[in-house]
């Protein structure tokens, strides 16, 4: 009697629960399987399909590889070589339709693209993995913006022990790129894993990380606001019109009130990727008393937005004022293949010409999350020294 509770539950649910009618209790097939030699086998159970392919960021640009039918109903593909340690994403294409792997419940969203995830463990991915270390908390928190006339959602990382300590902490404000939202750095960027691991290794100071929504027209990530389940778009009216930047001090005020922060410039950093790098540059120069550490990751490094705003007026002069107050770190990172590479060199030329000191990191690759996770992992240990 006792031993059948679990079996009975599963069977009865399948038989009786109308909502559970379409539930699976096991995946159709084992996929993806990371083999001992770090090759990866993908499988899809699809007896009637005529063609199945895999696409993903472990392949070359635009590459699709064909899966082979290895039994009456299972298609399979194994990578010819071991994959390097990294967090990877992929999808299947069945008879021309791109789908998620039905056997893999781990997914991420980037704008409207849903991808499956898998991890190759190793030195290069150890910071992205949930390790057996003390974990911080990750919270979805709402604040009110008077300037944007809206309640708005933040993702807040507090380091392990925050809830039961009385300590005050420095704060990193971490900004997403175009098409992103307050969820992006934790889901695609693995920010909470990177912080947990760097702090546990003694390589970073325990800190609070605040991830904002940089789309001034949105209250929250798609599906998380009262507008309901609206399909994401990057075509938003207020991304680089100065309004997000202008309203940013309200976020700092809220965080300093709601959390045990060290509320001074020496204990505040701001960094962002792509559009978030643009925002970080603009906000830090507009409010030079707020941030001592600035990180531009693959930044859209221009001095003007899409719409005119007083925020973008006299940008060069304001940056000189910012540097006259000697920020502790102005950190610029860009990939050699990034479409924003030239723009970043132009910013560097301006800084060099004016003898404004910064740190420059040039990586391989382009405008990709692998680089942004890596830049965050390099930047965070430099903060609050």
Give the list of residues 6+ apart from residue 190 with CB closer than 8 angstroms, or none: 87, 127, 128, 373
**Contact status, residue 305 vs residue 328, Cβ threshold 8 Å:** no
Cβ distance to a second copy smaller for residue 96 or 202: 96
Smallest distance, a second copy to C-beta of residue 379, A = 19
Radius of gyration of the CA atoms of the chain, in A: 23
Smallest distance, a second copy to C-beta of residue 62, A = 6
**48: number of Cβ within 10 Å:** 7
Q: Which stretch binds a second copy (CB under 8 A): 8-16, 281-289, 313-321, 351-359?
A: 8-16
Give the list of residues 6+ apart from residue 304 with CB closer than 8 angstroms, or none: 312, 315
Residue 249 within binding range of a second copy, rule CB under 8 A: no
| Rounded Cα–Cα distance for residues 273 and 371 (Å) | 10
Cβ distance to a second copy smaller for residue 107 or 262: 107
Smallest distance, a second copy to C-beta of residue 193, A = 10
Cβ distance to a second copy smaller for residue 9 or 317: 9
Cβ distance to a second copy smaller for residue 139 or 325: 139
Cβ distance to a second copy smaller for residue 159 or 170: 159
Question: Contact with a second copy (CB under 8 A): which of 38, 82, 100, 363?
Answer: 100
Specify the residue for token string 């649910």.
13
Smallest distance, a second copy to C-beta of residue 326, A = 31
Of 254, 269, 249, nearest to 207 (Cα)?
Answer: 269
Question: Contact with a second copy (CB under 8 A): which of 40, 67, 74, 94?
Answer: 94
Question: Contact with a second copy (CB under 8 A): which of 35, 37, 68, 142?
Answer: 142
CA terminus-to-terminus distance, the chain? 62
* Sheet strands (E) in the chain: 33-34, 40-45, 52-56, 65-66, 68-69, 74-78, 86-94, 97-99, 107-110, 113-120, 137-145, 150-158, 171-175, 208-211, 268-273, 293-297, 329-335, 359-363
Residue 232 within binding range of a second copy, rule CB under 8 A: yes
Residues 180-219 that bind a second copy (CB under 8 A): none
**Planar angle of CA 358, 187, 218, nearest 5 degrees:** 85
Token duo for residue 69: 């039918």
Q: Which stretch binds a second copy (CB under 8 A): 76-84, 210-218, 231-239, 320-328?
A: 231-239
Helix axes 369-379, 191-200, angle to 10 degrees: 30
| HSE toward the beta carbon, residue 170, CA cutoff 13 A | 20
Cβ distance to a second copy smaller for residue 124 or 304: 304
Cβ distance to a second copy smaller for residue 116 or 327: 116
Cβ distance to a second copy smaller for residue 129 or 205: 129
Cβ distance to a second copy smaller for residue 6 or 326: 6
Residues 49-78 that bind a second copy (CB under 8 A): 49-51, 55-57, 60-62
Question: Contact with a second copy (CB under 8 A): which of 107, 290, 356, 361?
Answer: 107
Q: Which stretch binds a second copy (CB under 8 A): 90-98, 209-217, 280-288, 355-363?
A: 90-98
| HSE toward the beta carbon, residue 347, CA cutoff 13 A | 29
Residues 308-337 that bind a second copy (CB under 8 A): 308, 337
Smallest distance, a second copy to C-beta of residue 289, A = 23
| Rounded Cα–Cα distance for residues 90 and 354 (Å) | 45
Residue 280 within binding range of a second copy, rule CB under 8 A: no
Specify the residue for token string 């990382």.
157
Residues 350-379 that bind a second copy (CB under 8 A): 365-370
Token duo for residue 11: 């069977």
Smallest distance, a second copy to C-beta of residue 358, A = 23
């Amino acid at each position: 009697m006792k031993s059948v509770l679990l079996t009975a539950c599963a069977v009865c649910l399948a038989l009786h629960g109308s909502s559970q009618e379409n539930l699976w209790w096991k995946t159709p097939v084992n996929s993806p399987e990371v083999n001992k030699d770090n090759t990866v086998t993908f499988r899809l159970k699809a007896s009637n399909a005529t063609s199945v392919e895999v696409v993903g960021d472990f392949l070359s640009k635009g590459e699709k590889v064909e899966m082979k039918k290895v039994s009456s109903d299972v298609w399979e593909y194994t990578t010819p070589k071991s994959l390097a340690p990294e967090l990877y994403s992929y999808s299947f294409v069945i008879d021309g339709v791109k789908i998620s792997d039905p056997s893999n419940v781990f997914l991420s969203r980037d704008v409207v693209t849903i991808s499956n995830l898998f991890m190759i463990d190793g030195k290069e991915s150890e910071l992205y993995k949930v390790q057996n270390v003390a974990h911080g908390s990750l919270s979805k928190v709402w604040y009110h913006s008077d300037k944007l006339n809206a309640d708005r959602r933040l993702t807040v990382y507090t380091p392990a022990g925050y809830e039961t300590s009385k300590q005050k902490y420095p704060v990193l404000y971490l900004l997403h790129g175009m098409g992103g939202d307050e969820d992006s750095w934790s889901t695609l960027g693995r920010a909470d894993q990177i912080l947990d691991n760097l702090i546990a290794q003694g390589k970073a100071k325990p800190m609070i990380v605040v991830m904002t929504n940089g789309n001034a027209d949105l209250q929250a990530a798609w599906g998380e606001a009262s507008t309901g389940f609206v399909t994401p778009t990057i075509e938003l009216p207020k991304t680089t019109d100065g309004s997000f930047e202008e309203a940013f001090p309200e976020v700092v005020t809220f965080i300093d009130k709601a959390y045990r922060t060290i509320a001074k410039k020496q204990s505040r950093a701001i960094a962002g990727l792509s559009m978030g790098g643009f925002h970080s540059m603009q906000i830090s120069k507009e409010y030079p008393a707020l941030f001592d550490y600035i990180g531009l990751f693959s930044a859209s490094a221009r001095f003007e937005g899409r719409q005119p705003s007083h925020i973008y007026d006299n940008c060069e002069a304001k940056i000189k004022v910012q540097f006259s107050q000697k920020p502790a770190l102005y950190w610029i990172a860009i990939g050699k293949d990034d479409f924003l590479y030239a723009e970043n060199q132009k910013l560097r030329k301006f800084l060099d010409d004016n003898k404004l000191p910064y740190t420059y990191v040039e990586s391989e690759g382009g405008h990709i999350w692998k680089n942004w996770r890596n830049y965050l992992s390099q930047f965070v240990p430099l903060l609050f020294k």
